[in-house]
Structure 1
Amino acid sequence: MKVRENLAISDTGFVFDPTSGDSFSLNPIATDLMNLLKNSTSMEDIKFYFVNKYEVSESTVEKDVIDFISVLKQHGLTESEDEN
């Protein structure tokens, strides 16, 4: 899973969807995650990143990532791996 290529994501956590015109504000952790997902980072690498940066458990990171992806899907901000 990755976020749609055409999304604009600022360093401050502002996300703009040019397709719908919708915009979203993310906190710093969600901004990090959004950028990792935009770069097609694997779940293992995402867990490694957050476990080391924030000293949380892998299971907590995995649950939070799955929850975040679910929200992204609800807003139509994801694409499947085989889409270009």
Structure 2
Amino acid sequence: MEALLKVKSNLGYSLFKIYLLNYILNYLLAMKLSRLAISDEGFVFDPETGNAYTVNETGLLVLKALREGKSPPEIAQALSEKYEISPGAALRDIEEFLEILRRYHLWEGKTDG
């Protein structure tokens, strides 16, 4: 019985560590996204690098949702409702957009939802 309690305790501690690491990662990603100046017209400026970009309406929606801490699957659900496409198709588009952001060093998160 004591060994079982220890396993449960270790499992709880491991889950806490995973939660904490996930929280820290999300905080750092939000910091990176928060430095961007994003206009309602889709103009994106990175003051750290001086680079400027433009995104379409969908890209703007994704960036704003990421800043709010939403996950790619959550964003995909919102896009599927707004544009009447399947959540799977929306998620694939989001993952492709996140890869582009990663290439420009604007995103460091996972692209697999």
State the TM bucket, normalised to the shorter chain: 0.7 to 0.9
- Report the CA distance between 1:30 and its aligned residue: 0.8
Q: Within 1, Cα distance between the matches of 2:38 and 2:73?
A: 23
1:37 equivalent in structure 2: 66
TM-score by length of 2: 0.65
Please give the per-residue CA displacement for 1:38-67, whole angstroms capped at 9, x wherever unaligned.
222022321221111000011111110100
Task: Give the letter aligned to residue 24 of structure 1.
Answer: Y
Equivalent residue for 1:49, pick from 72, 78, 96:
78
1:13 equivalent in structure 2: 42
Unmatched 5+ stretches in structure 2: 1-25
Matched, 1:75 2:75: no
Q: Within 2, Cα distance between the matches of 1:62 and 1:44?
A: 6
Task: Give the letter aligned to residue 12 of structure 1.
Answer: E
User: Which contiguous aligned blocks of 4+ residues in structure 1 show a shift greater than 3 angstroms?
Assistant: none
TM-score by length of 1: 0.86
Aligned residues: 81
Q: Within 2, Cα distance between the matches of 1:43 and 1:57?
A: 14
Query: Which one has a bigger Cα radius of gyration?
Result: 2
Report the RMSD for the aligned CA atoms in angstroms.
1.8
Aligned-pair identity in percent equals: 31
Unmatched 5+ stretches in structure 1: none
Q: Which has the higher helix share?
A: 2
